Structure 1
Amino acid sequence: MAESTLGARVAELRRRRGLSQKELGAAIRRSESWVSQVERDVLPVERLSVLQRLADVLGVAVRDLRPEAAEPMAADRGDGHRPGSAVFEQLRLLLTGHPALEQLFGDEADRESAAKLPELRERVDLAWQLAHESRLVEVGSTLLELIPDLEHAARANATRRPEVLTLLSRAYQVAATAFTRQEEVDAAWVAADRALSAAEESGDALSVVAGTYRMAQAFLRLQRLEQAEQAARVSVAALAAQVEAEQPRPEVLSLYGSLQLMLAVIAATDGNRTAARAGLAAARTAADQLGEGRNDFDTEFGPTGVAVHAVAVAVELGDAGEALDTARTVDASTLSPDRQARFLVDVARAHAQRRQATEALEALLHAERLTPELVHTDHRARAVVRDLLQFAGRRPADELRELAGRAAVTP
């Protein structure tokens, strides 16, 4: 069985336990159809939490089902080839300890720093622009200077402190986002916590919600679904009264809708179709009220954002046909390069679930043209490349082999 596919292993172990496909599906909160697709190797199982539930029910270790998943975070990170690892190691060190200790001992801060508020705001905006373009190494390099400057500015002039703290919260939020995408999730957690602290001290309640959103993203990547759901759901409840007002503020609708999308993805990851559909429906209602795509708190929320998340949710639930049908109706060109590329990765995943290798490769190559760094480092994109290599056997197409080389992926 060691040389067999994941699907063959699951099928053999299921039969040994005397379980039907329907019984196995019920035990792990999946449908009979889902089990059938997994056993036929139509549907890959990428989530560690799902692999763990399968292993528990089948009475084996995760490595017995999928040997390469024995150390999933290390494998996903691909530390040996990840660009900019030195930059993010420096950024990680920056988060260690007090951010401006020397000022507590009377070292005079630059009193002109508060007067440079417009410049600081431009630098924070630039960091987020780089993040939306998946230029994460440049994000890290920018933050190495920006965060200390903001920490010092926040202590330089009490009258401008709330404004600077709001910018500092945004800077830590982009750090959390970048760390999450680099698979440095523990550092993302620390950055998100710093963002929450700065936002609360600034007195900007919506910035606190935005920081909580970034923390939920980190929990989700860690597969701590209950914590991710709790963070998102508490924030949704806090915003509910404002959303139900006669004329809710656009910023409130953007955050509320983004959190509902987060809840939909969490539910889909956990195989909860009903909750996933409910999250999408609530987000769609908020987007309809908004009436246009916005980027409040760097969330890119709007009708198109809801549509691309609907594709992601369908893929997570194993509904490849629905995902592809929805994808054909989406014009993602108005979104950032990062969001467009992630949408294309989800399209590639849907094609891979249907073993449509040519179409999956085309979607990945399109995503790579938009944001090479994302496709080369994102764990989902790399998983699709690995699946395509396995589909191809000993003679992969030149374009696939070259993409695998650029992403340092082996079968």
Structure 2
Amino acid sequence: MCTRAPCPDALGIARFSTTQPGSRRCPVGANAEIGAVLRGARCARRLTQAQVGEACGYSASAVSRIESGKLRVDYASLMRFAAFLQIAPQQLCASSVPGMTNVATVAGGWSDEEDAVRRRELLTGAVAAAATAVAGAGPAAAAAAPVDLEVSLFRLPEAAPVPLPRLVGQVAAARGDYCATQYTRLGQVLPALIAAAEATRDVSKGRARDEAHLALARAYVLAAELATKQHSDASWVAADRALSAARSSGIPVAVGEASRQLAIAMRRSGRSAAAVRLLTKEAADLDPNHDQTAAVRTTLLLTGAYSAATGTDRSTALSLMEEAGQEADRRPAVPGLFTVEATRTQVDAYRISVLNALGTPDEGVDIAARLDVDRMPTAERRARAWTDIARMWNALGDAPQTFAALQRVEQEAPQEVRRPALRALIAGLLYGTNRVEGVREFAARTGALVS
């Protein structure tokens, strides 16, 4: 058993002394060290957290917590991770975890002097593995290395208030990065932008405070959007903070934007029905006779339809799609939400994704044939539409059409095609039974090729 007597080692990492026979020290950072090794091995093999979790009996969010040291796993589970990721058991520093000293015994055990050295090697090796994984995918993939939003949102930098017009302009520029799929740059600027928005809000009064709350809400909306792209649990944090700021602003559009992000986080955690309830309630609260709020209502209905589809509720999904289509036809020129427009083209793109989720991709073929993706105003939306088309063809077993759609995703948004979900789709083509010329080079370029 570890006694609660922390002391720093040569690296400045706190650790505990032990009262077990053999008098070995048990580092309090052991979970984080094990997580770092698991993350490094996963990245080196170009696997997503969802893929690892499915193989080892965990959800993607649980794998994320394990890798960040926030969730401890038992010996049997850890050995499943080791076997799947091809990690030698002794590399996991298992002897530092209570109840797992048998691994160290098999490996021959470490002396106290070796303990600190091993920790250095484990941490350095994990970082190197991750770096090699990114570098091996080429310069473009290295440029798309994700920012750890979960850490950033809980450790915002110090920031001073800025003039409100400048803050609004900075949020607009960040939105531009998102719409242009410049995710790396967006992740780099968001923490400072959020911190500046909070500082500005804190010193503002009256109408200026409402506008600062709006800017803060939209900065958090972008953080939630980016976290969703990265399959990060930070989407929950960002969406919740966005909704709090939006409600404080008193601006219905902002509340709709933030509610959509919270519903997406719910849906991704398996709570599709709850997401639908939230979205339909927020949509009902919006004025259908005002163009802007009605357009926001349309986009909430679209997200609700997809959420219902992921929960296999076909009747609700199709009903919400029909309602959204009618709204879009009445107001074809209104932009809608901060990051999603309310147009007939957008409705058709959503319909394809809904039909995919319902398991009837064949019903989307005619829609895809008439869909004019080029009419969509942002690279992010065009890339998303081509992604849904790629998923449709993949579900129908048409590898050449799937590959053609994925190539269009890359043309529109190089960083989008390197998202974990897209890399998994590319890997499916690469290792599938139907060979398509050019897929291997595409997989290598986008980081989906496992070496």
TM-score between both structures, scaled by the size of structure 2: 0.66
Q: Residue 373 of structure 2 aligns to which amino acid in structure 1?
A: A
- CA–CA distance in structure 2, aligned partners of residues 68 and 404 of structure 1: 25
Say if 2:292 and 2:334, in contact at 8 Å, map to a contact too: no
Does structure 1 residue 339 correspond to structure 2 residue 387?
A: no
Does structure 1 residue 261 correspond to structure 2 residue 302?
A: yes
- Rg comparison, structure with higher value: 2
1:365 counterpart residue number: 407
Structure 1 window deviating more from structure 2 (160-169 vs 196-205): it is 196-205
Deviation at 1:293, TM superposition (A): 5.0
Deviation at 1:258, TM superposition (A): 1.0
2:274 counterpart residue number: 227
Deviation at 1:267, TM superposition (A): 1.7
2:182 counterpart residue number: 135
Does structure 1 residue 400 correspond to structure 2 residue 439?
A: yes
1:124 counterpart residue number: 171
Pick one of 137, 146, 150 that aligns with 1:92: 150
Deviation at 1:277, TM superposition (A): 0.8
Structure 1 window deviating more from structure 2 (218-227 vs 257-266): it is 218-227
1:307 counterpart residue number: 348
Deviation at 1:306, TM superposition (A): 0.4
Structure 1 window deviating more from structure 2 (278-287 vs 214-223): it is 214-223
Deviation at 1:402, TM superposition (A): 1.6
User: Structure 1 residues 397 and 86, CA, compared in 2 at 3 Å: closer, same or farther?
Assistant: closer
Say if 2:220 and 2:239, in contact at 8 Å, map to a contact too: yes
Deviation at 1:314, TM superposition (A): 1.4
Deviation at 1:87, TM superposition (A): 6.3
Pick one of 354, 366, 372 that aligns with 2:396: 354
1:118-165 Cα distance to aligned partner (Å, 9 max, x none): 221111111111111221111111212211111111122324211111
Deviation at 1:389, TM superposition (A): 2.3
- CA–CA distance in structure 2, aligned partners of residues 343 and 142 of structure 1: 27
2:219 counterpart residue number: 171
1:376 counterpart residue number: 418
Say if 1:261 and 1:280, in contact at 8 Å, map to a contact too: yes
Structure 1 window deviating more from structure 2 (315-324 vs 299-308): it is 315-324
1:35 counterpart residue number: none
- CA–CA distance in structure 1, aligned partners of residues 329 and 442 of structure 2: 39
Pick one of 217, 228, 237 that aligns with 1:180: 228
Q: Residue 298 of structure 1 aligns to which amino acid in structure 2?
A: T
- CA–CA distance in structure 2, aligned partners of residues 69 and 126 of structure 1: 41
2:283 counterpart residue number: 236
User: Structure 1 residues 293 and 158, CA, compared in 2 at 3 Å: closer, same or farther?
Assistant: closer
- CA–CA distance in structure 2, aligned partners of residues 329 and 406 of structure 1: 30
- CA–CA distance in structure 2, aligned partners of residues 293 and 387 of structure 1: 38
CA RMSD of superposed structures (Å): 3.0
Does structure 1 residue 193 correspond to structure 2 residue 243?
A: no
- CA–CA distance in structure 2, aligned partners of residues 383 and 306 of structure 1: 26
- CA–CA distance in structure 1, aligned partners of residues 60 and 167 of structure 2: 38
User: Structure 1 residues 87 and 308, CA, compared in 2 at 3 Å: closer, same or farther?
Assistant: closer
- CA–CA distance in structure 2, aligned partners of residues 211 and 129 of structure 1: 18
1:233-283 Cα distance to aligned partner (Å, 9 max, x none): 2212322xx22xxxx112211211111111211121122221111010010
1:273-328 Cα distance to aligned partner (Å, 9 max, x none): 21111010010011012122514433212111101001111112222222121011
Structure 1 window deviating more from structure 2 (159-168 vs 79-88): it is 79-88
- CA–CA distance in structure 1, aligned partners of residues 374 and 277 of structure 2: 33
Say if 2:253 and 2:337, in contact at 8 Å, map to a contact too: no
Does structure 1 residue 409 correspond to structure 2 residue 448?
A: yes
User: Structure 1 residues 229 and 203, CA, compared in 2 at 3 Å: closer, same or farther?
Assistant: same
Deviation at 1:84, TM superposition (A): 6.9
Deviation at 1:195, TM superposition (A): 1.0
Deviation at 1:397, TM superposition (A): 4.1
Deviation at 1:68, TM superposition (A): 7.3
Name structure 1 gaps, 5 residues minimum. Answer: 1-47, 52-61, 104-108
Say if 2:399 and 2:436, in contact at 8 Å, map to a contact too: no
1:78-102 Cα distance to aligned partner (Å, 9 max, x none): x86485787622x4334227x69x8
- CA–CA distance in structure 2, aligned partners of residues 383 and 165 of structure 1: 38
User: Structure 1 residues 226 and 400, CA, compared in 2 at 3 Å: closer, same or farther?
Assistant: same
1:281 counterpart residue number: 322
User: Structure 1 residues 203 and 70, CA, compared in 2 at 3 Å: closer, same or farther?
Assistant: closer
1:9 counterpart residue number: none
Give the 3-state SS of the residue equivalent to 2:415 in structure 1. Answer: helix
- CA–CA distance in structure 2, aligned partners of residues 238 and 188 of structure 1: 24
Give the 3-state SS of the residue equivalent to 1:233 in structure 2. Answer: helix
Structure 1 window deviating more from structure 2 (229-238 vs 298-307): it is 229-238
Pairing of 1:17-96 with structure 2 (within 5 A):
67=55, 71-72=59-60, 74=63, 81=134, 88-89=147-148, 91-96=149-154
- CA–CA distance in structure 2, aligned partners of residues 323 and 251 of structure 1: 29
Say if 1:293 and 1:304, in contact at 8 Å, map to a contact too: no
Give the 3-state SS of the residue equivalent to 1:291 in structure 2. Answer: coil
2:127 counterpart residue number: none
- CA–CA distance in structure 2, aligned partners of residues 361 and 216 of structure 1: 31
Deviation at 1:398, TM superposition (A): 4.8
- CA–CA distance in structure 1, aligned partners of residues 57 and 431 of structure 2: 16
- CA–CA distance in structure 2, aligned partners of residues 259 and 280 of structure 1: 10
User: Structure 1 residues 86 and 135, CA, compared in 2 at 3 Å: closer, same or farther?
Assistant: closer
Deviation at 1:371, TM superposition (A): 0.8
- CA–CA distance in structure 2, aligned partners of residues 218 and 325 of structure 1: 31
1:31 counterpart residue number: none
Say if 1:352 and 1:387, in contact at 8 Å, map to a contact too: no
Say if 1:83 and 1:137, in contact at 8 Å, map to a contact too: no
Say if 1:254 and 1:299, in contact at 8 Å, map to a contact too: no
Write out the 4+ residue segments of structure 1 that deviate beyond 6 Å after TM superposition. 84-87
